[in-house]
Amino acid sequence: MHYISTRGHNAHQTFSEILLGGLAADGGLYLPVKYPQVTPAQLDAWRGLSYADLAFEVLSLYCDDIPQEDLRALVRKTYTAEVYCNGRADDSAKDVTPIHWLGDEQGTRFGLLSLSNGPTLAFKDMAMQLLGNLFEYTLNKQGQELNILGATSGDTGSAAEYAMRGKKGVRVFMLSPKGKMSAFQVAQMYSLQDENIYNIAIDGVFDDAQDIVKAVSNDHEFKARQKIGTVNSINWARVVAQVVYYFQGYLLATKNSTEKVSFCVPSGNFGNVCAGHIARMMGLPIEKLVVATNENDVLDEFFKTGVYRARKSAETFHTTSPSMDISKASNFERFIYDLMGRDAVKTAQMFKDVETKGGFDLSQDPAYKNIAQYGFVSGKSTHLNRLDTIRDIHAKYKVLIDTHTADGVKVARENLQSNVPMLVLETALPIKFAETIEEAIGRTPDRPASFIGIENKPQRVVDMPADVHQVKDFVAAHTGL
């Protein structure tokens, strides 16, 4: 399996060669030369596998330069019930991502794919824990070290830091938007005292932090000298690890591979739903991929109109589903590359237009007129929708969901189809957004014992303007390189 850039850089590379990096040399994102295909017979053969063994089957199609016995050991080390059982002690913990069926609505089964069982109580743990083990394995093999520069709107940062803390040869420099995350998210990240973890609070929004990470990635001399890598979802390994739980959700929701399932995905940076797109391109029988946005509705606007209009920082809303407060979706480029028939020249020009003109318009393009074949539909949710949905799900099913999952549930209900099960990808435990949960139902949600009092712990963070040069100087000063 070899990988190419969405912008045309034609040097085919292996999984291990792109693992530690982020952007390709031309500023594009990596994708496989072609998606491996999974047959109905393979799908049925995978029924009943543990999550770790299913992950091996899926990932081995993409990571064929890692010895199979090593890859199997890595996924079995990563995906254990002990790591992925926060807040859940029932038999379904063995599934790692169990389905929590809510009930029947509009003639179809409707439920949550539980992805928040990991150490930081968010779906980002599903890929990040594997990434930490892959990084340590590869660095040890190569005798190298890595300085990770990342950006977070909330959950990526804590998932990355918890996955990388104490890892040999790895430092993490995580940028986050100052004052734009929940108190719990802030405490999860900033309370870590590990010497290899550095938190930088940027005066701006997530997109400002993400732009800094991309600018550093595009400074090839600095990136090489400082041994810079990334854990954001521009990193291919992050995305492909998330593909696995679409297969797991499908297999748990069906009895045979003739059935179809729809997935609704709360989305900001398009990484989570991009993994669903890849699973569908591999042959997983997904009927619809429902993209749910909050008030920052760039993606909803595109899927409804064909116009991609990235917002400026001042136009990005600070909402009660803050991990989706993103107005420039990095992973969207991967889908656009496929939509445009893998035309790298067109893709490169379109994303140059994003930087210079603020977006692009495909409304009259023949490619957009064929978009239905990819299964995407979309919808938007607001603060009042979130409150109403949290209250309704709690009253009707005695289940408490977080604000992002509420966005997903609201939009999923608008796109139910008779006899096609709908799974909403749960994104986090409600405690991460306690203030809004209390506003919705009048009480704060329960929290795992290990996180009691986390907001009162000493915090270690550096405040900084949204300036790439100051970030570079900080990284250089703390790497000794």
- State the pLDDT at residue 87: 44
Partners of 32 in beta bridges: 3
Buried b or exposed e, range 43-76, using 16+ CB within 10 angstroms: beebeeebbbebbbbbbbbbbeebeeeebbebbe
The stretches in the chain having pLDDT less than 50 are 87-89
- State the pLDDT at residue 252: 97
Residues across the chain: 481
Token pair recorded at residue 109: 């089964």
∠ Cα 300 32 138 (to 5°): 110
Residue 124 bears catalytic tag: yes
- State the pLDDT at residue 232: 77
How far is Cα 51 from Cα 335, in angstroms, rounded to an integer?
26
Which one from 94, 124, 352, 457 is the annotated catalytic residue? 124
- State the pLDDT at residue 25: 87
Token pair recorded at residue 92: 């379904």
How far is Cα 85 from Cα 246, in angstroms, rounded to an integer?
19
Strands (E) across 204-284 are located at: 228-229, 261-266
Partners of 380 in beta bridges: 293
Token pair recorded at residue 236: 């291919």
What secondary structure letter does DSSP report for 122? B
How far is Cα 47 from Cα 70, in angstroms, rounded to an integer?
23
pLDDT in tens, 111-151: 999 999 899 999 999 999 999 999 999 999 988 899 999 99
- State the pLDDT at residue 481: 57
- State the pLDDT at residue 81: 84
Let me know if 343 is exposed, middle or buried by CB neighbors in 10 A (0-12, 13-18, 19+).
middle
